[in-house]
Amino acid sequence: MNIILLAPPAAGKGTQASLLTKKYGFKHISTGELLRKSLEANDAVSLEIKETMQAGKLVSDAIILQLIEKEFLVAEQGIILDGFPRNKTQALKYAELLTSLGQEIDYVFYLAVPKAVAMERIFGRRTCPSCGKIYNSRALENKEKCMDCNTALVKREDDTEETFDLRYETYIKETSPLIAFYQEQGLLYEIDASLSTEEVFASIEKVLSKESE
Ligand code: ADP
């Protein structure tokens, strides 16, 4: 099973991918998470990646495709892609990779959310640097520790108003054309992601269960 989550920044891709992973045992591949992990190397390449991310731009296709191929080698069951592909080149390369493996894309869920809602969510977002769990600060009631592993939660460095605007612009220019691209292939399912986490998850599950009938 190959699923792509396509959405503007902070629409809830990571949260939905985690829920799907927990329930169905899929492998969750988040290019954003992989990039943030790669920053630990602290070398010239990671410095460049950090600057690109903070500028709200896309990291080079070559780096991203290398990350994706490496993850695919160890993937055994279904895969949920969160944050990839993010432009037409990546989408075409991904199609090539799947063809070479004798696989295909099953679903592309487009999590649609107005910019204002995404922006509001982003400022309250906290993540666990250890296990990657995502929290909304309102739901945390001032407990700033991860409920799963007790690590102190952090705010992502690119979750500022300025960077959000740049990320959103990049999304409109480079990523949003993929909506029509996958729609033409009959793979796109639009989900109203302005609803609650549970409601969004229920809408995704409804599609999955209908198709498997
Ligand atoms: P969000 O969806 O909230 O913007 P992500 O964690 O998916 O957060 O991505 C954070 C940043 O990582 C992006 O703004 C971009 O700089 C970089 N990034 C993630 N995935 C890709 C990708 N597929 N191609 C290029 N850059 C990427």
Any atom of ligand 1 within 6 Å of the Cβ of 94: no
Q: Is the CB of 58 under 6 A from ligand 1?
A: yes
- Angle formed at CA 120 by CA 169 and CA 179, multiple of 5 degrees: 40
| Residues in Cβ contact with 189 at an 8 Å cutoff, skipping those fewer than 6 apart | 107, 108, 109, 110, 204, 207
Specify whether 121 is catalytic: no
pTM: 0.90
What sign for the dihedral angle of Cα 131, 126, 61, 107? Answer: positive
Q: What is the pLDDT of residues 71-86, one digit of tens each?
A: 876 666 789 999 999 9
User: In this predicted structure, what is the pLDDT of residue 213?
Assistant: 55
Distance from the CA of 31 to the center of ligand 1, in angstroms? 6
pLDDT digits (tens, 9 = 90+) for 35-94: 999 999 889 999 999 999 999 999 999 999 999 988 876 666 789 999 999 999 999 999
Enter the tokens of residue 68. Answer: 């994706």
Helix (DSSP H) and strand (DSSP E) numbers for the chain: 10, 7
pLDDT in tens, 100-145: 888 899 999 999 999 999 988 888 888 888 888 888 766 666 678 8
Measured distance CA(83)–CA(105) in Å, rounded: 15
Neighbours of 1 (CB within 10 A): 16
Domains of the chain: 2-113+176-211 (3.40.50.300)
Q: Is 52 in the pocket of ligand 1 (CB under 6 A)?
A: yes
